[in-house]
């Protein structure tokens, strides 16, 4: 039953959201070029973290494949950018990632826990080396140039992808399929026994999450203007997606987004000051989060609440 | 042999035990009965070191043991056989049993003790080389009990030993538990099969909502109206 | 017409015959018991029926249609549901969500979320768990978790329900409550096939009982016949 408070809260949340969207949409109008570029990066990371969390959050299948799908997107832009208009390139990048993810998912989502994780790590390397081999053998180059696109367009495309992702993720989460995904994460066999068609559902959601990673990769490539397999299929992107999602917390819808914003901004500041050590810092953050705050930042509020409640009980009246 | 004094224990923020006191003397068979969720397992965990009481103390053979880590408690001679047939799934039956003899004193007599366990549970000998996860529920329960006995304990804490066992096996288990007492071991038994528990035990405690509400010789308890209504379904 | 029928169902694990050429039949509206010593193959048989395992040989028919080798979710949607010996509820989901998932996916006709909610509330009340629906399932006590699993299975609107050791770990009062639940499920028109060790319950609740030992069926009959069968007493009941 919704009380007045909860209705007001959701209305308030909606208003805030619309406001934020309006502000973001108009960013290039009032912000510096540097800010637009920075926010574009942050949006990219939000996309990676949120799409990772869309599948891996409820099911518990820890995928380290985002770099593979992101890279497929990058290469789609590199290969097709000259011949096709930008919207089509982005679309094809998404479709390409979808197909790859379906294939990979079909083969590997039957693997239990740790084997799936390891396979996804290997997948990134596999695709990287396949592309490298192809480029060296048939194209005769190692890297490619990508048709550049102006920063504001890149920004708006990234924002659009994010909005579509948020809509998709939210709808899935609130639908019966979101519940089914959670039940798969809790006990896959029991879920099957209550009628959930486990394998197709896993595969499809996994593939849908890959679409946004690919699309983000395609548009990001236009900003980098030169890519090669090592840049495109960099395992760091997988790691960052996981770090951000877990640090932000998987318990709430906006958790990964929160984590992405903080960590992305941190990266921006740390990379200039500690170019060699900033990854070390992130690694420590991940370890510390898992050890002390496994629910991430969104799990902090309930923890604080119960901690103060316990103190109250031990020393009533302060 | 074992004295529990005024123990209060919490599960996270919820208080599970309220001022619980009881005692077990050498070579006694004491039963603890009570509804599901009354706190019986919590009490065993407090004794065996898996849970630290918020207040109160537990004494074993004159020594304070509350708050000691479980592996130390095992070395002192207390063996807690938890409910739910917890075995090492990827180890064979034999390896599971050997793990039970981990304390140094028990390890030296491992071979002999294992033979004794096989005598009690011939089925385990049959399945000696099978992985524990391939055993059925009841077989795993037998394995868990056998593994507990491998530590050659002075005091055995049994948490629902008859859970999921066929009637014939239930009789066997109770016979074995009685046999343990006859050999001079001390047993603290939690059971849902209240009738049987009261049949073989010397004394019993009734735990409800984390508090001891009744205690006494089994004959008396079995007659008590409260026990009859609440647990014997009469 | 048998609602469930199995012919020479066989399954090996490694070299061991877990279930060996077992025939069985359950008629609609009946309550049939499955008993046997630990390790006899009872849960394995349930796993073969529910689709969790595939038999090596033999056939299983449900409502005249073959279901051997079908995936569990398809068997569930055909109207065959089960509970598990180790109470496999979804621990971090609320009691309500546990049942709701089954109401949404367990049937061939698609239900709206509102309809599923309504059914969930009714079923939770039917098993006696109203008031606990927002608790995470892991926070429920064992008897309540078992009831939750039953409600979840019933949400798939089965014609046949397999109950695996519903009464394990329950004290006599709780056993009486569980027996009452079994009768009420039967009165709803659901056929029941139960694995149990609690003799008192099985003898009074079942119309027929089947006995497995070392993967083979060694006896079958009315409770009376089973209680007096020499073979069963020697191998299972004792005294």
Min CA distance, B64 vs chain C (Å)?
31
Which positions 94-123 of B are in contact with C (Cβ < 8 Å)? 123
Min CA distance, B8 vs chain A (Å)?
14
Six token digits for residue B47: 């004794």
DSSP B181-210: HHTT-EEEEE-S-HHHHHHH-SEEEEEETT
B121: β partners: none
Could you tell me what percent of chain A has a pLDDT over 90? Answer: 62
Contacts (Cβ under 8 Å, ≥6 apart) of B79:
B148, B149, B151, B153, B155, B156, B157
Q: How far is it, in rounded angstroms, from Cα A215 to Cα A70?
A: 8
Neighbours of B209 (CB within 10 A): 14
The beta-carbon neighbor of B163 closest among C168, C176, C236 is C168
Q: Average pLDDT of A180-196?
A: 95
Answer whether residue C132 shows pLDDT above 50. yes
Q: Are strands C16-26 and B203-208 parallel, antiparallel or unpaired?
A: unpaired
**A/B interface, count of CB pairs below 8 Å:** 4
Q: Average pLDDT of A241-251?
A: 94
Pick the CATH number of B2-77+154-230 from 3.10.20.600, 1.10.1200.10, 3.40.50.300, 3.30.70.100: 3.40.50.300
- Cβ-based contacts of A194 with chain C (< 8 Å): 73, 76, 81, 101-102, 105-106, 152-153, 155-156
Answer whether residue B209 shows pLDDT above 90. no
Name the residue of chain A whose CA is nearest to B14's CA: A310
Contact B141 C38 (CB under 8 A): yes
Six token digits for residue A293: 């705050």
Q: Average pLDDT of C29-35?
A: 95
Q: Does B209 touch chain C (CB under 8 A)?
A: no
DSSP chain A: ---HHHHHHHHHHHHHHHHHHHHHHTHHHHS-HHHHHHHHHHHHHHHHHHHHHHHHHHH------HHHHHHHHHHHHHHHTTTS-HHHHHHHHHHHHHHHHHHHHHHHTTS-HHHHHHHHHHHHHHHHHHHHHHIIIII--S-EE-----HHHHHHHHHHHHHHHHHHHHHHHHSHHHHHHHHHHH-HHHHHHTT--HHHHHHHHHHHHHHHHHHHHHHHHHHH-EE-HHHHT-HHHHHHHHHHHHHH-SSSTTHHHHHHHHHHHHHHHHHHH-TTTHHHHHHHHHHHHHHH-TTTGGGHHHHHHHHHHHHHHHSTT-
Do the beta carbons of residue C116 and residue C187 sit within 8 Å?
A: no
Do the beta carbons of residue C215 and residue C40 sit within 8 Å?
A: yes
Residue B234's pLDDT is what?
55
Could you tell me what percent of chain C has a pLDDT over 70? Answer: 100
Q: Does C90 touch chain A (CB under 8 A)?
A: yes
Model confidence pLDDT, tens digit, residues B49-73: 888 888 898 999 888 998 899 988 9
- Cβ-based contacts of C164 with chain A (< 8 Å): none
Q: Average pLDDT of B124-136?
A: 89
Six token digits for residue C225: 């016949």
- Cβ-based contacts of A191 with chain C (< 8 Å): 90, 101
Min CA distance, C146 vs chain A (Å)?
14
Which positions 26-85 of B are in contact with C (Cβ < 8 Å)? 33, 35-37, 83
Do the beta carbons of residue B196 and residue B162 sit within 8 Å?
A: yes
DSSP C180-224: HHHHHHHHTT-EEEEE---HHHHHHH-SEEEEEETTEEEEEE-HH
Contact C71 A186 (CB under 8 A): no
Q: How far is it, in rounded angstroms, from Cα C22 to Cα C10?
A: 7
**A/C interface, count of CB pairs below 8 Å:** 75
Name the residue of chain C whose CA is nearest to B193's CA: C171
Answer whether residue A318 shows pLDDT above 50. no
Name the residue of chain C whose CA is nearest to B171's CA: C238
Contact A187 C88 (CB under 8 A): yes
The beta-carbon neighbor of C93 closest among A182, A195, A196 is A182
Answer whether residue B37 shows pLDDT above 80. no
Scored b (16 or more CB within 10 A) or e, C163-195 reads bbbbbbbbbbbbbebbbebbeebbeeebbbbbb
Q: Average pLDDT of B3-28?
A: 86
* Comparison of pLDDT for A216 and A224, the residue scoring more: A216
Min CA distance, C70 vs chain B (Å)?
23
Q: Can you tell me which residue has the tokens 């007001």?
A: A8
Contact C39 B136 (CB under 8 A): yes
Residues of A with CB under 8 A from a CB of B: 306, 309-310, 313
Contact B36 C142 (CB under 8 A): yes
- Cβ-based contacts of B13 with chain A (< 8 Å): 306, 309-310, 313
Answer whether residue A2 shows pLDDT above 60. no
Contact B160 C169 (CB under 8 A): yes
pLDDT category at A310 given cuts 50, 70, 90 is low
Answer whether residue A316 shows pLDDT above 60. no
Model confidence pLDDT, tens digit, residues A63-92: 999 999 999 999 999 999 888 999 999 999
pLDDT category at A253 given cuts 50, 70, 90 is very high
A199: β partners: none
The beta-carbon neighbor of A186 closest among C73, C93, C105 is C93
Closest CA to A47 of A172, A169, A153: A169
Model confidence pLDDT, tens digit, residues A153-172: 999 999 999 999 999 999 99
Helix (H) / strand (E) containing B104: helix B104-107
Q: How many CA atoms lie within 13 A of B208 on its CB side?
A: 8
Contact A195 C97 (CB under 8 A): no
- Cβ-based contacts of C85 with chain B (< 8 Å): 137, 164
Residue A273, burial from CB neighbour count under 10 angstroms (0-12, 13-18, 19+): exposed
* Comparison of pLDDT for C59 and C230, the residue scoring more: C59
Model confidence pLDDT, tens digit, residues B173-206: 888 888 888 888 899 999 887 888 888 888 999 8
* Comparison of pLDDT for A5 and C231, the residue scoring more: C231
Six token digits for residue B132: 């524990």
Do the beta carbons of residue B56 and residue B6 sit within 8 Å?
A: yes
Subunits that touch chain C (at least 3 Cβ pairs < 8 angstroms)?
A: A, B
Q: How far is it, in rounded angstroms, from Cα C109 to Cα C99?
A: 17
Min CA distance, C10 vs chain B (Å)?
17
Min CA distance, C169 vs chain B (Å)?
6
Rg, Å, chain C Cα set: 17
Residue B225's pLDDT is what?
75
Subunits that touch chain B (at least 3 Cβ pairs < 8 angstroms)?
A: A, C
Q: Does B8 touch chain C (CB under 8 A)?
A: no
Phi, psi torsion values for B233, nearest 5 degrees: 65, 30
Distance of CA B3 to the CA centre of its chain: 16
Could you tell me what percent of chain B has a pLDDT over 90? Answer: 20
Min CA distance, B67 vs chain C (Å)?
25
pLDDT category at B94 given cuts 50, 70, 90 is very high
Phi, psi torsion values for B18, nearest 5 degrees: -120, 105
Q: How far is it, in rounded angstroms, from Cα B164 to Cα C152?
A: 22
pLDDT category at C156 given cuts 50, 70, 90 is very high
Q: Any idea which of A196-200, C131-135, C154-158, C170-174 has the lowest mean pLDDT?
A: C170-174
Q: How far is it, in rounded angstroms, from Cα A68 to Cα A131?
A: 11
Model confidence pLDDT, tens digit, residues C172-206: 888 899 999 999 999 999 999 999 988 888 999 99
Residue C42's pLDDT is what?
93
Answer whether residue C29 shows pLDDT above 80. yes
Residue C50's pLDDT is what?
96
Residue A314's pLDDT is what?
58
Sheet hosting strand C65-66, strand order edge to edge? C16-26, C4-13, C57-62, C65-66
Do the beta carbons of residue C55 and residue C68 sit within 8 Å?
A: yes
Q: Which of B12, B124, B138, B170 to mutate to test the interface with C (most CBs of C within 10 A)?
A: B138
Which positions 27-56 of B are in contact with A (Cβ < 8 Å)? none
Classify C92 as helix, strand or coil: coil
Closest CA to B37 of B218, B200, B173, B160: B160
Q: Any idea which of A115-124, B178-187, C220-229 has the lowest mean pLDDT?
A: B178-187
Q: Average pLDDT of C214-239?
A: 87
Contact A179 C97 (CB under 8 A): yes
Contact B167 C174 (CB under 8 A): no
Model confidence pLDDT, tens digit, residues C62-110: 999 999 999 999 999 999 999 999 899 999 999 999 999 999 999 888 8
**B/C interface, count of CB pairs below 8 Å:** 90
Residue A3's pLDDT is what?
67
Six token digits for residue C109: 């006709």
- Cβ-based contacts of C13 with chain B (< 8 Å): 134
The beta-carbon neighbor of B164 closest among C44, C197, C236 is C197
* Domain-wise residue ranges, chain B: 2-77+154-230, 88-151
Min CA distance, B108 vs chain C (Å)?
32
């Amino acid at each position: 039953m919704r009380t007045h408070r909860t209705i007001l809260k959701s209305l308030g949340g909606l208003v805030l959201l619309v406001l934020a969207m309006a502000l973001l949409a108009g960013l290039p109008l009032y912000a510096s070029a540097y800010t637009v570029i920075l926010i574009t990066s942050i949006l990219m990371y939000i996309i990676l973290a949120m799409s990772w969390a869309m599948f891996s959050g409820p099911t518990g299948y820890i995928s380290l494949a985002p770099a593979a799908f992101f890279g497929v997107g990058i290469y789609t832009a590199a290969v097709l950018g000259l011949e096709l208009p930008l919207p089509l390139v982005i679309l094809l990048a998404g479709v390409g990632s979808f197909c790859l993810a379906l294939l990979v998912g079909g083969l590997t989502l039957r693997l239990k826990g740790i084997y799936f994780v390891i396979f996804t790590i290997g997948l990134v390397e596999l695709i990287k080396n396949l592309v490298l081999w192809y480029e060296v053998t048939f194209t005769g180059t190692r890297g490619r140039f990508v048709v550049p696109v102006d920063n504001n367009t890149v920004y708006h495309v990234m924002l659009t992808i994010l909005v579509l992702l948020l809509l998709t993720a939210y709808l899935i989460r609130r639908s019966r399929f979101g519940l089914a995904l959670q039940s798969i994460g809790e006990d896959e066999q029991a879920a099957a026994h209550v009628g959930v068609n486990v394998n197709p559902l896993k595969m499809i959601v996994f593939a849908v999450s890959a679409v946004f990673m690919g699309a983000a990769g395609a548009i990001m490539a236009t900003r980098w203007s030169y890519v090669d397999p090592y840049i495109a299929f960099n395992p760091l992107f997988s790691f960052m997606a996981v770090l951000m999602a877990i640090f932000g917390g998987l318990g709430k819808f906006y958790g990964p987004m929160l984590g992405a914003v903080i960590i992305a901004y941190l990266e921006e500041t740390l990379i200039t000051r500690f170019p060699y050590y900033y990854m070390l810092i992130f690694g420590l953050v991940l370890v510390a989060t898992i050890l002390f705050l496994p629910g991430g930042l969104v799990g902090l509020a309930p923890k604080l609440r119960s901690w103060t409640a316990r103190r109250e009980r031990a020393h009533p009246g302060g | 042999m074992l004295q529990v004094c005024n123990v209060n224990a919490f599960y996270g923020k919820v208080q599970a035990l309220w001022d619980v006191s009881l005692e077990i003397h050498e070579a006694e068979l004491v039963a603890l009965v009570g509804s599901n969720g009354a706190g019986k397992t919590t009490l065993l965990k407090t004794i065996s070191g898996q849970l630290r009481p918020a207040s109160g103390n537990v004494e074993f053979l004159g020594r304070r043991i509350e708050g000691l880590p479980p592996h130390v408690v095992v070395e002192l001679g207390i063996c807690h056989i938890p409910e739910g047939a917890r075995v090492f799934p990827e180890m064979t039956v034999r390896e599971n049993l050997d793990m039970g003899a981990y304390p140094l004193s028990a390890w030296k007599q491992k071979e002999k003790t294992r033979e004794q366990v096989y005598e009690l549970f011939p089925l385990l000998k049959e399945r000696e080389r099978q992985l524990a996860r391939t055993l059925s529920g009841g077989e795993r329960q037998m394995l868990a009990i056998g593994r507990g006995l491998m530590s050659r304990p002075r005091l055995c804490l049994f948490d629902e030993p008859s859970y999921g066992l066929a009637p014939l096996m239930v009789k066997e288990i109770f016979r074995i538990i009685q046999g343990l007492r006859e050999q001079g071991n001390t047993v603290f038994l939690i059971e849902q099969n209240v009738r049987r528990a009261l049949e073989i035990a010397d004394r019993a405690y009734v735990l409800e909502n984390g508090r001891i509400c009744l205690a006494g010789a089994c004959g008396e308890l079995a007659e008590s109206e409260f026990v009859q209504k609440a647990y014997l379904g009469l | 017409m048998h609602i469930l029928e199995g012919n020479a169902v066989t399954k090996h694990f490694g070299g061991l015959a877990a279930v060996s050429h077992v025939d069985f039949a359950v008629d609609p509206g009946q309550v049939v018991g499955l008993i046997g010593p630990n390790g006899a193959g009872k849960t394995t048989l349930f796993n073969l029926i529910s689709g969790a395992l595939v038999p090596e040989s033999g056939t299983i028919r449900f409502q005249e249609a073959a279901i051997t080798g079908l995936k569990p979710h398809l068997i569930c949607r055909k109207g065959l549901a089960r509970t598990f010996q180790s109470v496999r509820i979804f621990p971090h989901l609320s009691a309500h969500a546990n049942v709701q998932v089954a109401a949404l996916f367990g049937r061939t006709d698609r239900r709206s979320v509102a309809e599923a909610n309504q059914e969930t509330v009714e079923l939770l009340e039917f098993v006696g768990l109203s008031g606990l629906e927002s608790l995470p399932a892991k926070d429920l006590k064992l008897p309540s978790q078992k009831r939750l699993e039953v409600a979840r299975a019933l949400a798939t609107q089965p014609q046949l329900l397999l109950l695996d050791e519903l009464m394990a770990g329950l004290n006599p009062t709780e056993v009486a409550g569980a027996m009452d639940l079994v009768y009420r499920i039967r009165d709803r028109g659901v056929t029941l096939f139960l694995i149990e060790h609690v003799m008192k319950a099985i003898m009074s609740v079942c119309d027929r009982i089947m006995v497995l030992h070392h993967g083979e069926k060694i006896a079958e009959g009315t409770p009376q016949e089973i209680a007096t069968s020499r073979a069963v007493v020697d191998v299972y009941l004792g005294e």
